[in-house]
Chains A and B, each alone.
Chain A
Amino acid sequence: MKFPADYPYFVAAWILLCGLYGIVRSKHLVHMVISLTVVQSSTYVLLLAIGFRRGGYAPVFAGLHTGARVVDPIVQALMLTDVVVETTVVALLLAMVVKAYEKGGTTSPDDLRFLRG
């Protein structure tokens, strides 16, 4: 892994750290949930970067002869399902935020001490 040539790998790490920084500095639960989606999007960059092939076609053989150079279809399939599932999980987390505000009257992650297991 060389620095300028393989920049997508570094971009993925940078996005991951940005999201984690957002979670650590978060003063609002909605902000925290959105930071989590930033963390998750770093995996998309990493997966697609690993499967990318310079000059490769999309792995769809409609109008493309079999045996053509294509990019990796497996990593694309991995993230395809994740994009949709992530959205519903975010909806679930935001619903929890709504309930936390209703029960505790706060949206700050630091003030969630009223939660007991």
Chain B
Amino acid sequence: MKRSHRLWLFAVGALGMGFVYCAGARNLPPWGQYRGPYGDAIAQLAVYERHTTDTVNAVTYDYRGFDTLGEEFILFSAVTGVMLLLRPEKQDSGGKRDEKGGNPASFRDRAALSETVQMFTTAIFGFAVIFGIYMATHGQLTPGGGFQGGVILAAAPMLLYIAENTEAFQRIVSHPLVEFLEGAGAAGYALIGMAALAMGAAFLTNVIPLGTTGDVFSSGTIAAISACVGVEVAAGFTLIIFEYLREILSQKKNEEP
């Protein structure tokens, strides 16, 4: 199809979609006047039923926990897909990973690194790790949770990469434990759900004692699942970063000779 034809087709389709959208959204409540009832019901009940103060995470990891398990496995399979696609094609079994692909951190843009950048990124590395763990473990009390905390944790090795601390970066991202943790995080979520089955309740029922509202060890399975998700997201993102850097390096190697 020619580009101009395609554009005309899009124009017609966009007009049609705009019409259908406006017709469909016509009876939405005016902006800023949410009518409920489900959001209000959850907001009223979650604090009493689940002893959690962050109702968003009560929805994510408990009331809607089964859906989140599905999304968790979308993430898991996407990471697996990236690893399958970007893995070097001739891979000998049992060989160390970095022998084939080389050290991904050895490739960098050759611009001189300012000392300020190096110092600051190294300095906030520890902060990023602590903040990521804090986020992943306090999702039941304050905004945060496993997804957010995991991303912050995965950003920490990237700070080392920016600071050209390549040895430490390489040690972290190519560690076999990262792969294990990615699987363990996903499995942990499912196992917490199955624990409820073993106790005679429905899948993903909140069976852990709820504790005192406002305490770190409160809210039962919400905190546990949030921590599992944090581990999985952090490991998954680290794996993606590693695979992409190795890909850049192999491209670079092909261009050089």
Contact = CB atoms under 8 A, between A and B. Distances in A.
Tell me if A's interface is mostly helix, strand, loop or mixed.
helix
A13 B19 CA distance: 11
B75 interface: yes
Interface string A72-92: 111111101111110111011
B127 interface: no
Interface string A54-82: 10101111100011001111111110111
Given A1-B22, A59-B56, A6 B28 contact: yes
A17 B14 contact: yes
Contact of B10 (A24, A50, A58, A92): A24
A82 B214 CA distance: 27
A72 B44 contact: no
Given A67-B44, A73-B56, A80-B147, A13 B21 contact: yes
A76 B56 contact: yes
Contacts of A83: 147
B53 interface: yes
A91 B30 contact: no
- Indicate the size class of the contact surface on chain B: 35 or more
A58 B57 CA distance: 12
Interface string B43-84: 110111000011111111000100010010011001101100
Given A1-B22, A49-B31, A73 B82 contact: no
B216 interface: no
Contacts of B59: 73-74, 76-77
Interface stretch (B137-145, B160-168, B171-179, B196-204): B137-145
Contact of B43 (A17, A49, A59, A75): A59
Contacts of B40: 72
A25 interface: yes
Given A21-B10, A74-B39, A84-B151, A95 B85 contact: yes
Interface string A1-34: 1100111110001001100110011000000000
B60 A85 contact: no
A59 B31 contact: no
26 contacts: A6-B28, A20-B14, A51-B39, A53-B34, A56-B34, A58-B143, A59-B54, A60-B55, A60-B142, A71-B34, A72-B36, A72-B39, A73-B39, A73-B46, A74-B64, A77-B57, A78-B64, A80-B56, A80-B145, A80-B148, A85-B74, A88-B240, A91-B79, A92-B78, A95-B81, A99-B85
Interface of B: 3, 6-7, 10, 13-14, 17-18, 21-22, 25-28, 30-34, 36, 38-40, 42-44, 46-48, 53-60, 64, 68, 71, 74-75, 78-79, 81-82, 85-86, 141-143, 145, 147-148, 150-151, 214, 233, 236-237, 240, 243-244, 247
Interface of A: 1-2, 5-9, 13, 16-17, 20-21, 24-25, 49-54, 56, 58-62, 66-67, 70-78, 80-85, 87-89, 91-92, 95-96, 98-99
